[in-house]
């Protein structure tokens, strides 16, 4: 009977990017569910809830989730660097960075509005 050796490096490099993507997805989904619940409660109770707070919380969850996606993509590309993957990563990171920048900008504006 042969003993199967586990290539830990390959196993980790395969699953870590997937784990980062899953964590990013969970954070964004959690933020969306939380924002939906807060909005529904506010509407049902006819309570004046400050929607800027809901948007601020949701925006921060989306931005954090995007950071996890970028980290997962970076790890995947670092381990398998083909030219097309590097170009694809650059485009994805660029798009996510621009989205993250504008979300952060909106988040700061919402925070100012909340503090008024």
Q: What is the pLDDT of residues 2-12, one digit of tens each?
A: 556 678 777 88
Residue 3, domain member (yes or no): no
User: Which pLDDT score, from 0 to 100, does residue 24 have?
Assistant: 95
What per-residue confidence (pLDDT) applies to 32?
96
Question: Quick one: pLDDT at residue 3?
Answer: 52
What pLDDT does 21 receive? 93
Q: Could you give the angle at which helices 83-115 and 51-79 cross, rounded to 10 degrees?
A: 160
Q: Does residue 59 fall inside a structural domain? A: yes
How many distinct structural domains can be found in the chain? 1
Residues 6+ apart with CB under 8 A from 42: 48, 49, 51, 54
Instruction: Read off the pLDDT band of 90 (50, 70, 90).
Output: confident
Q: Is 2 within the bounds of a domain?
A: no
47 contact partners, CB below 8 Å, separation of at least 6: 41
Confidence of residue 48 (pLDDT cuts 50, 70, 90): low
For 1, the 3-state DSSP assignment is coil
Write out pLDDT tens, residues 50-83. Answer: 777 888 889 889 989 988 988 888 888 777 678 8
Query: Would residue 72 count as lying in a domain?
Result: yes
Q: Is residue 1 assigned to a domain?
A: no
Residue 89 is part of which domain span?
Answer: 8-115
- In 45-82, which residue ranges form alpha helices assigned H by DSSP? 51-79
In a domain, 101, yes or no: yes
């Amino acid at each position: 009977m042969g003993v199967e050796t586990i290539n830990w490096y390959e196993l980790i490099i395969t699953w870590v990017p997937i784990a980062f993507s899953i964590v990013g997805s969970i954070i964004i989904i959690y933020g969306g569910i939380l924002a939906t619940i807060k909005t529904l409660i506010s509407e049902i109770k006819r309570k004046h809830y400050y929607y800027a707070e809901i948007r601020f919380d949701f925006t921060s969850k989306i931005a954090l989730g995007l950071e996890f996606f970028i980290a997962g993509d970076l790890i995947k590309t670092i381990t398998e660097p083909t030219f097309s993957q590097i170009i694809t990563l650059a485009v994805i990171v660029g798009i996510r960075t621009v989205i993250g920048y504008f979300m952060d900008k909106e988040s700061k504006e919402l925070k100012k509005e909340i503090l008024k």
